Amino acid sequence: MTRFQEPYYLVDFNASVCNFDIFINGMPAFTHNVGGGISSHLPINHFMLEPGLQNIKINVLPLKGEDSLRPDGFITIKVFSYDASTENYDNTVEAFKFEKLDFSQNKMPGLNLTTDFKADINYQITGWKISEPFNTVAFNQYEIEKYFRFIHGLFKERDIEGLYKEMKDRFDEIDISMYLGIVDNKMELSKLFGELSGGKFILEDFPDSTEAKFFANAKVCTLVGAEEKPIIHYTNKETNEEYALPLFIHKKGGKYNIIR
């Protein structure tokens, strides 16, 4: 029995003078790789497929070009929930907390933690449970790149019908896990293209070189270009503002589509 009618889980992070990765059930929830300080939180329901134990993995890394954590750095990462059916955002339940208030112990090359926390969500979604695993040793880079080129082309042409077809599983499961109800995702795609166009954002060309990355026990894959930028990456050439949309694919019945 869940405590909340609509249990909404977030990962909260507060860190300084370090980089870090957060994975939920093997999926990348957040990556910070520019050093400095950061304090924010993000929803993670869409990475949790069913109630019960959820896995969290944390990698705390030195700044780029350095081989150990700065002694004056710190990090706190928490997972908590609240009831999204109410407006009471103060009534929260903490499910997990990791805290390191300083890195002064010896010269630490990094920190790694993998553990579980319990989530009392009230839905079940398929996600990548029955997806075909990728062979990470002998995978077909050309085949994966071909599919991402196809998706890149749909974004370039602003093909809303084509994108909706490829992203339907993603849309449906996010709508369920985030308690969004009935959403016109074709309209949302149209709004996105309108905002990008109004903001003078231009879709970057498909990168010359790419790298496939695998997650969730190699059942999910994404493709990145230089500096690990997502394939769908827009830039405003006047202001240098960027908009990136990481997309994750899986394979079911021999066919790729976008799952997150």
CA atoms within 13 A on the CB side of 162: 11
pLDDT of residue 87: 81
Q: How is residue 239 written in tokens?
A: 């202001």
Structure tokens at 12: 């909260």
Query: Averaged over 64-74, what is the pLDDT?
Result: 94
pLDDT over 70 percentage in the chain: 99
CB-based burial, 185-213: b 16+ in 10 Å, e otherwise: beeebeebeeebeeeebebbebbeebebe
Q: Is residue 137 within 8 Å of residue 108, measured between CB atoms?
A: no
- pLDDT tens string 20-35: 999 999 999 999 999 8
What pLDDT score was predicted for residue 1?
A: 42
Alpha helices in 98-159 (DSSP H): 141-157
Query: What is the rounded CA–CA span in Å between residue 217 and residue 227?
Result: 24
Q: What is the pLDDT of residue 89?
A: 85
In 10 A of CB 57, how many CB atoms? Answer: 17
CA 134 to chain centre: 19
pLDDT digits (tens, 9 = 90+) for 144-182: 999 999 999 999 999 999 999 999 999 999 999 999 999
**Model confidence pLDDT, tens digit, residues 194-246:** 999 999 999 999 999 999 999 999 999 999 998 899 999 999 999 999 999 99
> Nearest Cα to 118, choosing from 93, 144, 135?
93
For the chain, give the mean pLDDT. 95
Contact status, residue 233 vs residue 148, Cβ threshold 8 Å: no
Residue 18 has pLDDT above 60, yes or no: yes
The model carries a pTM of 0.93
Q: Which tokens hold the place of 94?
A: 């903490």
Quick check: 136 pLDDT over 50? yes
Which pLDDT score is estimated for 236?
A: 97
Please tell me the predicted confidence (pLDDT) of residue 257. 96
